[in-house]
């Protein structure tokens, strides 16, 4: 069978064997968690508790500061012990609420509502919003915002992202295998909320068992389709996935809704299902703790806000000194200064490298070999952007594609001169934003 894909892209080793066969297991309640106030794209949530308050698991601890913002909940029961700056998985210090466990792990009421499908659309949207659901693939866009598209941009297709093209990560893969039906429930809900006629699930070909399972489950449902996709990075990038799964091209600078599509990660679909049926807030997620030096690589169902150090300890620690700790996957994830960071709703993995693998190579002059141009999934000239940024020529950088870059990192992956293209392009994006503000 010819697998669908997108133009460009690379084929890194998938490295998923470390944790792929480990079933999802629940992490015992940690001693403390840190609920970050910025787990999403948009305004930072405002705390609604103060130090000393007792909170239950699932209780609201921060409220949205605007429409594009998010409600945050306590993920364990206990006492608020500090509100201040903590290490964020993106490597920066950021405001968060520290909750110290009382050991009871008492939850707020989460009543089952088996007839959830017949609820009104408004109620469905409210429940998603109240549960603080955001995109769990990494970017963390608030889901309730995506579910309220303008009336002139009707959505006819929901695309569920089960690609997981980042090397090492297996959390979505395990969800596909173990929560397949819940994923489909979430998909049905999404279709109902935005009035989409079709639901598509894109899964990369390196997960044949997941493809087979899902295909079996949708066999009698004409409006649902499982699309096996070629193993190619960045297959899970929004625009690339939409093109591969539906053949539609999102216009540059536009959103998927411009072509009538809404994309959600499979983990988000499960969160939506739980939010609607049980009114369960997004307080836990599956995260892969993996890498060649991790003693017991696992896929852990862990409370949001768990410290990475606690996750690793549960996985039996490491067999060799850690050289690099990556929050997320190795292509787009963030290298952490320490394991004191607390996971957020978008934390799909903790990948650990030994010291040798962590060594970064020396940057050389560009040979103009054009590999970056050839594989750029956005059809840009990465070396042209980077060079323009280096010489501070922002106009040239924009012409070479500065604003279209999705920072997937494929260019830097193939560069024989080891040029840190993404870093240069990111610098350019920041400088460009500054220049625009000044205007």
Question: Bridge partners of 100?
Answer: 32, 79
If the CB atoms of residues 301 and 335 are measured against another protein, the closer one turns out to be 335
Shortest distance (Å) from residue 8 CB to another protein: 8
385 contributes a contact to another protein by CB under 8 A: no
Residues 69 to 128 in contact with another protein, rule: CB under 8 A: 91
User: Under DSSP, is residue 217 helix (H, G, I), strand (E, B) or coil?
Assistant: helix
Interface characters, 212-251, with another protein (x: CB under 8 A) = ---------------------------x---x-----xxx
Radius of gyration of the chain (CA): 21
17 contributes a contact to another protein by CB under 8 A: no
Cβ-count burial of 94 within 10 angstroms (0-12 exposed, 13-18 middle, 19+ buried)?
buried
- Options 22-30, 58-66, 352-360, 431-439: segment touching another protein (CB under 8 A): 352-360
**Number of Cβ atoms within 10 Å of the Cβ of 118:** 8
426 contributes a contact to another protein by CB under 8 A: yes
If the CB atoms of residues 230 and 420 are measured against another protein, the closer one turns out to be 420
Shortest distance (Å) from residue 342 CB to another protein: 16
C-beta of residue 45 within 8 angstroms of C-beta of residue 69 = yes
**Distant-in-sequence, close-in-space partners of 223: CB < 8 Å, separation ≥ 6:** 191, 197, 198, 199
Residues 308 to 327 in contact with another protein, rule: CB under 8 A: 309, 321-326
If the CB atoms of residues 66 and 416 are measured against another protein, the closer one turns out to be 416
Query: Where would I find the H helices in 43-169?
Result: 121-130, 143-146
378 contributes a contact to another protein by CB under 8 A: yes
If the CB atoms of residues 210 and 231 are measured against another protein, the closer one turns out to be 231
**Distant-in-sequence, close-in-space partners of 434: CB < 8 Å, separation ≥ 6:** none
**Number of residues lying near another protein (CB under 8 A):** 72
Among 10, 22, 293, 386, binds another protein (CB under 8 A): 10
If the CB atoms of residues 49 and 402 are measured against another protein, the closer one turns out to be 402
Q: Identify the H or E element spanning 353.
A: strand 349-354
Cβ-count burial of 91 within 10 angstroms (0-12 exposed, 13-18 middle, 19+ buried)?
middle
Residues 24 to 43 in contact with another protein, rule: CB under 8 A: none
Per the structure block, which two tokens stand in for 309? 């150090």
Interface characters, 158-197, with another protein (x: CB under 8 A) = ---------x------------------------------
- Tokens 């963390």 -> residue: 140
At residue 338, φ and ψ (nearest 5 deg) are -160, 170
Per the structure block, which two tokens stand in for 396? 């040239």
59 contributes a contact to another protein by CB under 8 A: no
C-beta of residue 55 within 8 angstroms of C-beta of residue 79 = yes
- Options 96-104, 178-186, 210-218, 367-375: segment touching another protein (CB under 8 A): 367-375
Among 58, 199, 349, 384, binds another protein (CB under 8 A): 384
Shortest distance (Å) from residue 36 CB to another protein: 19
354 contributes a contact to another protein by CB under 8 A: no
Among 92, 139, 399, 430, binds another protein (CB under 8 A): 399
**Distant-in-sequence, close-in-space partners of 128: CB < 8 Å, separation ≥ 6:** 143, 144, 147, 193, 272, 275, 276
If the CB atoms of residues 117 and 370 are measured against another protein, the closer one turns out to be 370
Residues 245 to 284 in contact with another protein, rule: CB under 8 A: 249-252, 254
């Amino acid at each position: 069978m010819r697998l669908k894909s997108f133009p460009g892209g690379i084929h890194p080793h998938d490295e998923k064997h470390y944790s792929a066969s480990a079933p999802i297991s629940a992490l015992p309640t940690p001693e403390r968690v840190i609920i970050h106030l910025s787990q999403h794209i948009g305004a930072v949530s405002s705390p609604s508790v103060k130090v000393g308050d007792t909170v239950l698991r699932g209780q609201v601890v921060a409220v949205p500061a605007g429409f594009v913002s998010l409600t945050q909940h306590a993920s364990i029961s206990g006492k608020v012990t500090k509100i201040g700056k903590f290490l964020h998985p993106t490597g920066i210090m950021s405001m968060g609420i520290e909750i110290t466990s009382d050991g009871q792990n008492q939850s707020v009421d989460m009543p089952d509502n088996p007839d959830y499908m017949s609820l009104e659309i408004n109620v469905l949207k409210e429940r998603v919003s109240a549960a603080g659901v955001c995109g769990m693939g990494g970017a963390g866009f608030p889901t309730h915002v995506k579910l309220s598209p303008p009336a002139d941009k009707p959505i006819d297709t929901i695309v569920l992202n089960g690609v997981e093209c980042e090397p090492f990560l297996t959390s979505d893969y395990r969800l596909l295998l173990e929560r397949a039906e819940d994923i489909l429930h979430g998909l049905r809900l999404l279709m109902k909320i935005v009035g989409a006629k079709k639901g598509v699930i894109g899964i990369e070909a390196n997960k044949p068992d997941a493809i087979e399972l899902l295909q079996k489950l949708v066999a009698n449902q004409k409006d649902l389709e499982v699309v096996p996709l070629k193993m190619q990075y960045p297959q899970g990038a929004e625009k690339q996935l939409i093109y591969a799964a539906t053949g539609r091209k999102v216009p540059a600078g536009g959103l998927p809704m411009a072509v009538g599509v809404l994309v959600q990660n499979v983990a988000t679909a499960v969160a939506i299902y739980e939010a609607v049926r049980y009114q369960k807030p997004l307080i836990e997620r599956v995260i892969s703790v993996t890498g060649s030096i991790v003693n017991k690589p696992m896929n852990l169902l862990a409370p949001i806000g768990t410290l990475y150090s606690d996750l690793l300890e549960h996985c039996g620690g490491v067999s060799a000194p850690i050289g690099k700790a990556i929050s997320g996957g190795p292509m787009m994830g963030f290298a952490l200064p320490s394991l004191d960071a607390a996971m957020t709703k978008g934390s799909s993995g903790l990948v650990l490298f030994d010291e040798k693998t962590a060594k970064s190579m020396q940057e050389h002059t560009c040979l103009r070999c054009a590999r970056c141009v050839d594989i750029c999934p956005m059809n840009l000239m990465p070396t042209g952007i980077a060079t323009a940024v280096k010489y501070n020529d922002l106009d040239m950088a924009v012409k070479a594609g500065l604003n279209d870059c999705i920072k997937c990192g494929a260019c830097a992956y193939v560069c024989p001169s080891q040029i840190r293209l993404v870093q240069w392009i990111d610098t350019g994006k920041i400088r460009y934003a500054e220049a625009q503000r000044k205007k």
